Structure 1
């Protein structure tokens, strides 16, 4: 076939490069604008079918507008509360109730039983959005009283601190992630231009993904919160970098084989397209399975993450080949492109070890993983208590401790009972008899002496719990409370509120794990069967990654309480960890096994796996280190949920990269030989 003129060969890569530059310029700002369409209101992410969700909807009828309570507490520094402190606290309460965004009347000052503290509640409009943080900050300033330790707690204060924690999502998280990735690539590849090209592809992919998500969220098609926003950035940067490294590694091989840059780019694209597309498909399908969840924030991550992965695949298969074709050998300067880069001798030694003792290696690897996996049942996923919600000190946490020291633990955050007004007395009496309920009073919308609010024939009762609203005793009390009020004939009573929401989230999270994890595995198996034209190999690969996930949970169960000080994990952490680790862990097996299948066709299975391991060892290990470092960057956001996800994914990816893909899988394939491709037949 005649070679096209040199000038013509420039046109397509140059056109692709210009298109991506235009997209990056047009959409780059959207990476910093997702906060405009995100919400961090916890009530927006409740289970759709849960009792607490129905109560949240019914509560709206009792108020002219939805509100968030702000609980103010003053503790006397010396002795009991005196008249002066009571008067000063009254003036501070009046000033706090006048802050823009507050609504309705403030509650009266309530003295603690020990006489050393005062409590009051003001209401903030729930539709303030980012201004909630401003209003809470102003309330904190106005609540200060000489001679007392003051604090501001409650849902509004927690939401304000969450907004402050997520303020670093747009800039800090992205900057740290990109900086870490760039540093690793510079150290590993010892080249100037290649790391910049890979990073540019990731940034362009993120810009397009954020623009698409922004448009969909603005029209209500998808939901975005701070967690989804942060995970989108990390997913796109990590995946785009991994795919870019695979493409550039094949490009380097083709240059080392003597091809010119245009032929090398075309061949690299052709040989990389299948594993990159299959990898993107497994991760995308794994994320989309989250749509089966009954938790809104889980469902939100599904399509948002899948959009990000699709953009990462697109950038890796269009922008990067074009950039490599135009830059040629200069991409690897000052190093010279060789087939295996600078790590060929290391991976040749690993391949020799696999060839000498395959069975001992895979049996030993399985034994190590199984021993770690045996600790996985110790991981406590009952939910992170509010005192551990943040990894750094926060005013709302300190205020909640102050409140709990002098008042019933559930003060300011009651269980909400909605029942038919005609049976209010029976429901109130039944609720008051429940162990763990400190008091029950009707909702008046103002002072306690005002008449109860009746809406649509229903009445609302607020049950203050004796224990902190997010504690296990409080959640157990909610269960007893529901049993008691449901038993009142004709009352049609329902129990909601924060504690009930947490109980429902725990129950739903367990249901989601039981449903979603098997479906994710089935989706991944289907992709692997189509990719490898085999049944046995996909089953073995999926099993190794699932075992690696359980081993990671086992390590996390030991590390979280004893190293990081977490008494428990968020209920969604095991599910997120599974989706990310299984889908992303299979990626590296896809990169390895597609190369093994390619080499086996001409060398036989055992020689093919050794050749595939030598050829892909360096690039896959680099990709794993980059992805682990990218997820570790989530730790800069001071939230326990993200810190836990960061550790699980970073550790799990390294375990997959360094043990499962480097030793376990190659040794298992070498030991089985041609049988691994069953029902197809290939030479050993």
Structure 2
């Protein structure tokens, strides 16, 4: 194994410890004062699709040729159980006139209902006369905060005109006029609001969970705070650095990314700290000089910590290869955060331990046998018995029955991995929202009173070249289309026409997404039938459904590219670190198997326990990058111990002691990391709930099945072949024991 170690005199010495602490304190303070915090530099409406995607090209044509073709609508759903009355309709007409003559900020247009005859307006009502949908269009370049202010002004003017607030009224109450804002604008506002409201709760929940778990596991109040202090100072440096980079336009950050980064930082950061702390505690039982013990602990643990950090950073940086913006935006912030946290765990945390010393573990202070005897003598107590030698039950079991354990572990994981083939995916944004969210309530009213497709119609645009086509008839004849609008003529090119197509199903559902190629092919066929030899070049399909279809296609493309790249890079890093082709192969293989097992078990929990019909389509890639990178952390830490010990003892003894010595810290680290990701499951955002559940399950599988049983069992079965093509070099002590 190639040695990657830090020798700790510089950060743990009498002067170095205080210099290290001062550097971190000054850096965090100055950066926080001079640079903006990352939360102040969020961009929550950054485009996710590139200009080469068909829906983006179609949106550009719509923006050029049609007055409101590229504007985004807010759909106001008016509802009164028992039926809208003439007074209600007159109030809605007055609002339309007011918004036409005096638009709210960032509003581009509104349907001129005030110019419609009363009978024409009544014709727009639902069949039972209880519901009316009125769209208000906004500038597509307006950000979420601007849209939120604009919609708030709409609501304020409505309340002033009606003398009440229909946006707070219960839609189910008889005779009460209610209103809800949905459509793309309402969905965007609600989505951003969910993350904004979740940030503080997520941070507090994560900190409290880590603190409680550390107290329960180590029963030391001082020790429980040391990792949190390390993570806190690291965050104090990370946040302004990322904020500065975002302000300069080098990176883009959003609410979702910041939320997950916070969880990752506390979970992975605490793990790195525990790798060092656990080794320090072990050595304090054999070394009277705390400085020597700490330097030895830092030397022993630094290789695993550095390698673990590098593995996660490299895996996260592969997201730069993604075409989809949300994936790509994760790469730089996450990798920078882990890189800085790794540095903090190898500098700041050792400095804190050097200052506090053995008292870090109070009231259960680790001491050598000589120190225990001297302490007992001073207190007039009997000489304490030597501490019993560790029994290493798990390690002993593994080396006794490696074949059986490997077989049972592989079968269990393979069965769960097989379940992953049954997963159903969705790209439905609304399914991530709580049922009481305003935009989802409005959508539910539209779905129950009108066609669901009215929420987000698909715009089919064609360049007819002056030819007569039967496109409207062909579109209307499709079984999944409920209504096709009259053709709109292009403003610059009169030969370009557009049809708004309302689907007879949820426009955000996977079924609707699958209709986009058919709509495009229908338009192609209509143009070809009219004599257009290049029909495919003269058809554009835009709208939310088309964008989601391109999102699905882009995500699948990114997954096919990034998965093998991540596997290849991690395999290369392990090969350089372990210098063993065989060990690299089975370490990577077990983590991949664990990933698919996590997907399978996660699907069982999400589908049968939480009641979700499908999981969000972006989750498999997110989960893969995190689980493969983080899963290797524990393997690296354990294998490092086995590789180090096998130089001094027979391999099976090295496995027994390596598994035993690392078992406690990896179990506690795994519980903390899984717990931090599980905090995401408490949020009212399904995409984070599902990501949190799957990632937490994957971490637990790695912690309690793959790491303590499967990997050491395979190592025991392979014996010295595990080191191939490296050679095993035994010390004289190991030769005697062998």
TM-score (norm 2): 0.85
Q: What residue number does 2:501 align with?
A: 463
1:63-142 alignment, distance < 5 Å: 63=67, 67-79=71-83, 81-94=84-97, 100-107=104-111, 108=113, 109=121, 110-126=124-140, 127-140=142-155, 142=158
> Post-superposition shift, 1:169?
4.3
In structure 2, how many angstroms separate the alpha carbons of the residues matched to 1:243 and 1:530? Answer: 21
| 1:244 equivalenced with 2:273 (yes/no) | yes
Does structure 2 retain, via aligned residues, the 8 Å contact 1:48–1:296?
no
Question: Distance in 1 between the 2:192 and 2:10 partners?
Answer: 54
Determine which of 633, 649, 655 is the counterpart of 2:701.
655
Equivalent residue for 2:446? 403
Hey, what does 2:3 align to over in structure 1? none
Rounded to whole Å, the distance in 1 between the matches of 2:616 and 2:709 is 33
In 1, Cα distance between equivalents of 2:486 and 2:44: 29
Distance 1:425 1:10, change over 3 A: farther
In 1, Cα distance between equivalents of 2:660 and 2:273: 19
- Residues 321 and 465 (structure 1), Cα distance of their counterparts in 2 relative to 1, 3 Å cut: same
Q: Deviations over 1:277-311 (max 9, x none)?
A: 11111111111111222211101111221111101
Query: Contact 1:193 / 1:333 at 8 angstroms: preserved in 2?
Result: yes
Residues 675 and 225 of structure 1, relative CA distance in 2, 3 Å threshold: same
The reply to whether residue 207 of structure 1 matches residue 258 of structure 2 is no
Equivalenced residues, count:
669
The whole-number CA distance in structure 1 between the counterparts of 2:187 and 2:405 is: 50
Cα offset, 1:338, TM superposition:
6.3
User: Cα 1:664–1:396, aligned 2, differ >3 Å: closer, same or farther?
Assistant: same
2:131 and 2:608 mapped to 1: Cα distance?
Answer: 35
| Equivalent in the alignment of 1:40 | 44
Structure 2 distance, partners of 1:65, 1:229, is: 33
Matched residue of 1:567: which SS? coil
Aligned to 2:187: 158
Which among 283, 286, 294 is matched to residue 323 of structure 2?
Answer: 294
Structure 1 partner of 2:643: 597
CA apart distance, 1:90: 2.3
The match for 2:383 is none
In the alignment, is residue 643 of structure 1 matched against residue 689 of structure 2?
Answer: yes
- Alpha carbons 2:217, 2:668 under 8 Å: kept: yes
Say if 1:455 and 1:196 are closer, same or farther in 2 by CA, change over 3 A: farther
1:330-351 alpha-carbon deviations (Å, 9 max, x no partner): 1111111269xxx998871212
Range 451-460 or range 282-291, more displaced: 451-460
State the shift of 1:8 in Å.
10
How is 1:245-264 mapped onto 2 (pairs within 5 angstroms)? 245-264=274-293
CA shift in 2, pair 1:671/1:208, >3 Å: same
Q: Equivalents in 1 of 2:491, 2:485: separation in Å?
A: 12
Cα 1:64–1:338 change in 2 (3 A) is: farther
Q: Partners of 1:8 and 1:567 in 2: how far apart?
A: 54
Q: Is 2:595–2:628's contact at 8 Å kept on the other side of the alignment?
A: yes
Contact 2:42/2:255 (<8 A) preserved: yes
Which residue in 1 is equivalent to 2:170?
none
Render the CA deviation track for 1:96-115: whole Å, top value 9, x for unaligned: 67573252331135323554
CA distance in 2, matches of 1:278, 1:13: 24
The 10-residue stretch of structure 1 (566-575 or 347-356) with the greater mean CA deviation from structure 2: 347-356
**2:57 paired with 1:54:** yes
Alignment of 1:484 with 2:522, yes or no, is yes
1:379 aligns with 2:382: no
1:267 aligns with 2:296: yes
Structure 1, 81-90 or 596-605: larger mean CA deviation: 81-90
2: CA distance between counterparts of 1:281 and 1:640? 31
Deviations 1:547-592 (A, max 9, x none): 1111111112222121112111111101111111111011100000
Alpha carbons of structure 1 residues 549 and 19: separation in structure 2 relative to 1, 3 Å: same
TM-score (norm 1): 0.91
Cα 1:66–1:485, aligned 2, differ >3 Å: closer, same or farther? closer
Secondary structure at 1:464 match in 2: strand
**Matched residue, 1:447:** none
Gapped regions of structure 2 (runs ≥ 5):
1-7, 114-120, 160-164, 167-174, 369-386, 731-737
Q: Give secondary structure in 2 for the equivalent of 1:105.
A: strand
Root mean square deviation, CA, Å: 2.9
Q: CA deviation at 1:119?
A: 1.5
Match of 1:474 in 2: 512
Question: What's 1:307 paired with?
Answer: 336
Q: Is the alpha carbon distance of 1:64 and 1:414 closer, same or farther for their aligned partners in structure 2, counting shifts above 3 Å? A: closer
- 1:667 matched to which residue of 2? 713
On the 8 A contact 1:69/1:123 being kept in 2, the answer is: yes
- The answer for unaligned runs of 5 or more in structure 1 is 445-450
* Offset at residue 432 of structure 1 (A): 3.9
| 1:123 partner SS | strand
> 1:168 and 1:78, CA in 2 relative to 1: closer, same or farther beyond 3 A?
closer
2:35–2:241 CA contact under 8 A, matched in 1: no
Q: Secondary structure at the match of 1:674?
A: helix
Q: Is the contact between residue 71 and residue 139 of structure 2 (CA under 8 Å) also seen in structure 1? A: yes
- Answer with 46-55 or 654-663: which moved more: 46-55
Look up the match of 1:448. none
Identify which range, 346-355 or 371-380, moves more after superposition: 346-355
Structure 1 range deviating more: 587-596 or 555-564: 555-564
Partner of 2:544: 498
Alpha carbons 1:223, 1:297 under 8 Å: kept: no
Partner of 1:280: 309
Structure 2: distance between partners of 1:415 and 1:636: 35
Instruction: Give the Cα–Cα distance (whole angstroms) in 2 for the partners of residues 547 and 8 of structure 1.
Output: 40
Q: Does structure 1 retain, via aligned residues, the 8 Å contact 2:62–2:69?
A: no
Secondary structure at the aligned position of 1:576 is classed as helix
What secondary structure is seen at the aligned counterpart in 2 of 1:417? Answer: strand
Find the structure with the greater CA-based Rg: 2
